[in-house]
A and B are shown apart, each in its own frame.
Chain A
Amino acid sequence: MQRQIEGSRAVAEAVAACRPEVVCAYPISPQTHIIEAVGVMVKSGSLSPCEFINVESEFAAMSGAIGASAAGARAYTATASQGLLFMMEAVYNASGLGLPIVMTLANRAIGAPINIWNDHSDAMAARDSGWIQLFAETNQEAADLHVQAFRLAEELSVPVMVCMDGFILTHAVEGIDVPAPADVDSFLPTYEPRQALDPQDPVSIGAMVGPDAFEEVRYLAHLRQLDALERIPTLAAEFAQVFGRPSGGLLHTYRAEDAETIVVALGSVLGTIKDAVDRRREVGERVGVLGITAFRPFPREAVWDALSGVRRIVVVEKAFSIGFGGVLSTDVAMATHDGHCSLRTVVAGLGGRPITSLALEQMLAAATRDELDPLTFLDLDHGVVERERARMSVTRRSGPSAENVLRDLGTTRVVEEVP
């Protein structure tokens, strides 16, 4: 049943339907509404039995989840941005220990300059952490992916991060069919840990491993992620049977059948991209979309299948590797490395900069004319950049760039719509 509900609330209810036994909570925008809503459910008794722990940092949040999961409890937490970075040591540890923790990442930019709005810098920083990373395109998918995430995590003993765009999804109120507890119960079995701290069967977890075995342990983690490539589509199909709607999977295509140009992206921007593609189709451009849900493990073969016939690939990314360029682009390039087509990276939406359909349309038009630079920053104000570069060249003590740019622009920025 669809309800008008905030994305965070829907995720909280979906998580609660999964019956987490330990939830570690630490506030950080834009994730707070999720953890607050779960907290209310625990305190009121509607989510029981569950221990809701108000920890003192994200590092403690993930660490508490590690302890709970190692003791055989289903554990959940949520974070974003700086919080993910602050817990990063424990994030790697959770996957290294093979603990099936599920965490929501409400994607947000990383400072400095401090910025609370959406981009994917945080998720990309955790790319190599050994976590499965699933990106939700919509709030419906965000809610559904959490249910699949617990199942996937626990089947494989690998932690799963469900990435949903901060504010754009977390704070958007829309019609969502929140997974019903009874359906979740039929989809998600009770957690049976592979390893658990149990006085009746004492084991040592977290031993020191030297050069003699470290590579093998790491390789096993890689194999579990490859197993996830097999399990994700199966679970999505099973989910569709139980819940009556498609959700999840490795990737989705849109109007891609005869496309010469395909735009690849993660997350909520796919909606805007589809709108832009619809309009370019109206003027006869053969463009399509590839939305990637499973970023880690990266579905190389499925991506190849989706892109093997195209002439141009445009990867729209809400993050980039400073000093190089695209992150997702690199993976897409590896998946399509025979050079049959051109690949362009478009960095867009950093720190919450709106990605307008107009800007996307113009970008697509340029791409179709083969006029798009290999690395494009969408809507970048080159004037601001040049003026700051000039200031820096004139005086040694030019001051903090972020403040200079703000002063240059005035207190608020108006994004000019290019006709």
Chain B
Amino acid sequence: MTRQPVRFYQVGSFAAGNRLLSDADRTVQSDSHRTNSLDSGHRACQGCGEALGARYALDAAMRATQGQLVAVNATGCLEVFSTPYPETSWRIPWLHSLFGNAPAVATGVAAAMKVKGRSDVRVVAQAGDGGAVDIGFGCLSGMFERNDDVLFICYDNEAYMNTGVQRSGATPPAVRTATTEAVGREPGNVFGQGKDLPRLAMAHDIPYVATATVADLHDLEEKVERAMEFRGARYLHILVPCPLGWGSSPSDTINVARLAKETGLFPVYEAVDGGITAVSPIRHRTPVEAYLSIQGRYAHLFGEHPRSDIIARIQAIADSNISAYGLLGDDADGVGSEKVLA
């Protein structure tokens, strides 16, 4: 896979306005004929990363399928804030069944479309990290294993936000949640081995797996479009900061997501048939403090009694990711494009 590097120097954030791009490179969102799959008026919090991610992902999927799309939704923030009865923000066919069954429901929808000779209608299933990593994992693994024709998107905000910020299997170490309070000698969440769902998806050898953040929406849209080029089970894991749960400023959502990538804590990559084919390199390697210190969920690591020991352990995780995924790339001078491995 080759892509033309596009170099942007306009803003310090590396964000590039669509006006700087050729028409072909502009985002789906810049198109006035975009679907607005998740339309305005919903009840998401200010600065919600999930609403942003879902809007971009689904509009991109709609463009990729020429509007022949059905979305299945697990219970969670996205479901609740988008469909307060009798209103709905969805301008696409949308089905919510339960918290833990979105992958299986999507399998059923895809089977129905196939049997009706409507294989042109594609299916996207979406859930938060709780609905994907924890309660929905059995159904998700089954959907992967059967290689059902479903794109499953996990909007990862690293905890159960809809129920009031409780720990999930995707909550990182040391994070304060309502069930991993910042008290005691080891405040916040435990340092476990974690539950890395993109890697678990890759272990199923499904055709396409990718990670993305809402800091790079071009990349997110590209990955959705790429995912729709494949038939079979596909998995897209999008990091979506939650200002409420993370204790970050709503205006910092993009910044927080970018720092998650730039510190190495959240590797951004894509994988085909179970093997990583490309990673998005870090542009400015950043110490984890820059990421942690702007989030209230890590506040107990700073202040009067800073826990440099815990910060060092988190830095070690980032360093390990950087090494394992080759996140520094060939040109870590800040001008890099996507690093293509194969």
Residues of A whose CB lies within 8 Å of any CB of B are: 21-22, 24, 49-51, 53-57, 59-61, 63-73, 75, 89-90, 93, 97, 197-199, 201-210, 212-213
Contact = CB atoms under 8 A, between A and B. Distances in A.
A59 B109 contact: no
Interface stretch (B110-118, B189-197, B258-266, B271-279): B110-118
Contacts of A50: 115
B97 interface: yes
B123 to A, nearest CB: 8
B143 to A, nearest CB: 8
B85 A64 contact: no
B93 interface: yes
B121 interface: yes
B120 to A, nearest CB: 9
B111 to A, nearest CB: 4
B111 A208 contact: no
5 contacts: A49-B115, A51-B115, A63-B139, A70-B95, A205-B95
CB-based closest 5 A-B pairs: A67-B108, A56-B142, A206-B96, A71-B112, A63-B104
Nearest to B139: A60
Given A56-B138, A65-B108, A67-B105, A207 B86 contact: yes
B101 A51 contact: no
Contacts of A72: 112, 116
A209 B84 CA distance: 7
B112 A68 contact: yes
Interface stretch (B4-12, B68-76, B247-255): B68-76
B146 A213 contact: no
Contacts of B256: none
B335 interface: no
B172 to A, nearest CB: 28
A117 to B, nearest CB: 28
A63 B125 CA distance: 13
Given A50-B115, A60-B138, A97 B97 contact: yes
A203 B145 contact: no
B107 interface: yes
A49 B92 CA distance: 27
A184 B233 CA distance: 36
A57 B142 CA distance: 9
User: Which of B91, B92, B112, B148 is the most central at the interface, judged by chain A CB atoms within 10 Å of its CB?
Assistant: B112
Nearest to A101: B108
Contacts of B115: 21-22, 49-51, 73
Contacts of A73: 108, 111-112, 115-116
B96 A205 contact: yes
A89 B80 CA distance: 18
Nearest to A202: B93
A50 B121 CA distance: 17
B325 interface: no
A199 B105 contact: no
Contact of B107 (A53, A212, A213): A53
A60 B144 CA distance: 13
A63 B98 contact: yes
Interface string B58-85: 0000000001111011000001100111
Contacts of A205: 94-96
A116 B121 CA distance: 42
Contacts of B100: 59, 89
Contacts of B111: 22, 51, 53, 64, 67-68, 73
Given A51-B115, A56-B141, A71-B112, A206 B97 contact: yes
B225 to A, nearest CB: 18
Given A21-B112, A22-B112, A199-B68, A60 B93 contact: no
Contacts of B68: 199
A71 B85 contact: no
User: Which of B70, B105, B121 is the most central at the interface, judged by chain A CB atoms within 10 Å of its CB?
Assistant: B105
B90 interface: yes
A55 B69 contact: no
Contacts of B95: 67, 70, 197, 204-206
B94 A70 contact: no
B141 A69 contact: no
Contacts of A203: 93-94
User: Which of B68, B100, B101, B141 is the most central at the interface, judged by chain A CB atoms within 10 Å of its CB?
Assistant: B101
B51 interface: no
Contacts of B90: 202, 204
Contacts of A202: 90-94
Contact of B109 (A56, A97, A197, A206): A197
A213 B86 contact: yes
A25 to B, nearest CB: 12
A67 B102 CA distance: 9
Contacts of A97: 97
Given A22-B108, A207-B86, 7 more contacts: A53-B107, A60-B103, A63-B97, A65-B108, A66-B97, A67-B111, A202-B91
B12 to A, nearest CB: 40
A199 B93 contact: yes
A204 B79 CA distance: 11
B106 interface: yes
Contact of B80 (A49, A66, A90, A208): A208
A54 B293 CA distance: 48
Nearest to B87: A207
Contacts of B139: 56-57, 59-60, 63
B88 interface: yes
Nearest to A213: B85
A198 B120 CA distance: 12
Contact of B79 (A51, A90, A208): A208
Interface string B1-31: 0000000000000000000000000000000
Contacts of A93: 97-98
A68 B80 contact: no
